[in-house]
Amino acid sequence: MKRRQALSTLGTLVLALGPAELAFGASIVAVRVWPASDYTRLTIESDKALQAAHFLTDGPQRLVVDIENLELSPALRELVGKVRPDDPFIAGVRVGQNQPRVVRLVIDLKQAVKPQQFALPPVAAYQHRLVFDLYPTQAADPLAAMILERDQAERAAGQAIQDALGEFIGQLERPLPGGPVVAQAPAASSPAPARPRQTTSPPEVSAAQRERINRLTIVAIDPGHGGEDPGAIGPSGLKEKDVVLQIALQLRDRINAHPSMRAMLTRDDDFFVPLYERVSKARRVQADLFVSIHADAFFTPEARGASVFALSQGGATSAAARWMANKENDADLVGGVNIAAKDTQVLRTLLDMSTAAQIKDSLKVGQEVLSRIGGVGRLHKRQVEQAGFAVLKAPDIPSILVETAFISNPQEESRLRDPDYQARLVEALYSGIRRYFARNPALSRQRST
């Protein structure tokens, strides 16, 4: 009976609207899941804007999303297989046609979340996007996370030494068989295990740990782009977001090997971090320096060489610098930011108080880094350039943006891929940073985070 009613209603609609309007269904172009310990993002891209509503249930914890005017399609079903077992928030997704024109997603959760739902208009290579960002109910404290990471690294190092010693002693005690001892197949030949993710909230920072941190020089390393925002893409397909993450991870290890320095990454995985959030993370650990790493494209494939940028209070130092800043500042459009979130506006206003002192220090560190990078490869410009980069706007932290190379140049793209070139680049960045701190020691100050 109900079904017959629905059919007759549908019939009326056909008469009222005509067949053209009835092609209501948006087509799903792609679905993506970007898991990270900060937050997991779920993106549904379609050729028309989607209407959706969501609600949470607990016991079991679920996020239920109803998308209107949509037919279940194979593209949407792909979502089910895109959830990774190590996703910190999502245990699984089920997709079904809830009502004739409503598709329901049931997202089984691993922990309580604060979901943010927003829509993004078409931009760059993307059509309409419906986005769900699942944040933990308690945001991770980057300072505590940094301490935890350091403690884990120290424990792992200690364990490795103990294991090696145990193995050595074991070999001494073991009577040798006829042939030489054959080592076990190296672990590297097996597929890399999923990186453990921190799903519980980090421990409280003790006074002693805080004191140790107070004496450290903290460098915030910011690998550009990530997640929905691939950055520039080289002629053979190398993505800026991937190569800058590789460089940033190596720079982090290089810095952490120094006993009185500590690195904090604004992202350590393939997910998008809004520009203001990158700055905010650096401020929360009261970083002494902020280094954003990029490898952008340029108008022409011939453009080559590294450049270093600092913030400008007035205009840009060149048309190219202005162009680059505008392009980088568009990252939020491509990466996708929920502009309705209140803290976004508050932070943006706060970050407009950039100071002349910050810029002065940024130029100093920029020049040190530039001169070291000049020893690795060609420089695009010998001077540190300046423009209004949003990501360099921490009013109290010297901040530079390093364009390591132009990924749009085929030769530079292949160099960026080369582990040896990456290592030399990391060494140049590191020694430039060290030289800056040697000449301008970080003031010992009370970190209050």
Q: Report whether 274 contacts 344 (CB < 8 A).
A: yes
Tokens of 338: 């929920």
231/366 with CB nearer Zn ion: 231
Smallest gap from Cβ 294 to Zn ion, in A, equals: 3
Q: Report whether 284 contacts 141 (CB < 8 A).
A: yes
Per-residue mark of binding to Zn ion, 246-275 (x: CB under 5 A): ------------------------------
In the beta sheet, which residues pair with residue 389? none
What gap in Å lies between CA 250 and CA 202, rounded to an integer? 24
231/432 with CB nearer Zn ion: 231
Amino acid identity at 192: A
Residue 129 within binding range of Zn ion, rule CB under 5 A:
no
292/362 with CB nearer Zn ion: 292
28/324 with CB nearer Zn ion: 324
Smallest gap from Cβ 172 to Zn ion, in A, equals: 53
Smallest gap from Cβ 401 to Zn ion, in A, equals: 8
141/403 with CB nearer Zn ion: 403
Per-residue mark of binding to Zn ion, 200-239 (x: CB under 5 A): ------------------------x------x--------
Q: Report whether 32 contacts 270 (CB < 8 A).
A: no
Q: Report whether 219 contacts 288 (CB < 8 A).
A: yes
Smallest gap from Cβ 121 to Zn ion, in A, equals: 22
262/267 with CB nearer Zn ion: 267
What gap in Å lies between CA 442 and CA 395, rounded to an integer? 16
330/427 with CB nearer Zn ion: 330
Question: Sign of the CA dihedral 207, 209, 215, 219?
Answer: negative
294/447 with CB nearer Zn ion: 294
36/245 with CB nearer Zn ion: 245
Size of the site for Zn ion (CB under 5 A): 4
Pick the stretch among 257-265, 286-294, 307-315, 363-371 that binds Zn ion (CB under 5 A): 286-294
**Residue in 366, 371, 367 with CA at minimum distance from that of residue 389:** 366
Q: Is 390 exposed, middle or buried (0-12, 13-18, 19+ CB in 10 A)?
A: buried
CB atoms within 10 A of CB 306: 23
Shortest-Cβ-distance residue relative to Zn ion: 294
What is the widest separation between alpha-carbon atoms in the chain? Answer: 90
Smallest gap from Cβ 407 to Zn ion, in A, equals: 9
Residues in the chain: 449
What gap in Å lies between CA 70 and CA 24, rounded to an integer? 8
Smallest gap from Cβ 90 to Zn ion, in A, equals: 28
243/433 with CB nearer Zn ion: 243
Look at the block and give the residue holding tokens 């804007």.
49
Smallest gap from Cβ 259 to Zn ion, in A, equals: 32
Smallest gap from Cβ 76 to Zn ion, in A, equals: 31
Per-residue mark of binding to Zn ion, 288-307 (x: CB under 5 A): ------x-x-----------
Angle subtended at Cα 294 by Cα 229 and Cα 382, rounded to the nearest 5 degrees: 150
Helix, strand, coil percentages (3-state) for the chain, rounded to 5, are 40, 20, 40
Smallest gap from Cβ 334 to Zn ion, in A, equals: 10
Smallest gap from Cβ 140 to Zn ion, in A, equals: 25
Tokens of 131: 């986005």
What gap in Å lies between CA 224 and CA 118, rounded to an integer? 23
Tokens of 123: 């931009």
Q: Which residue ranges make up the site for Zn ion (CB under 5 A)?
A: 224, 231, 294, 296
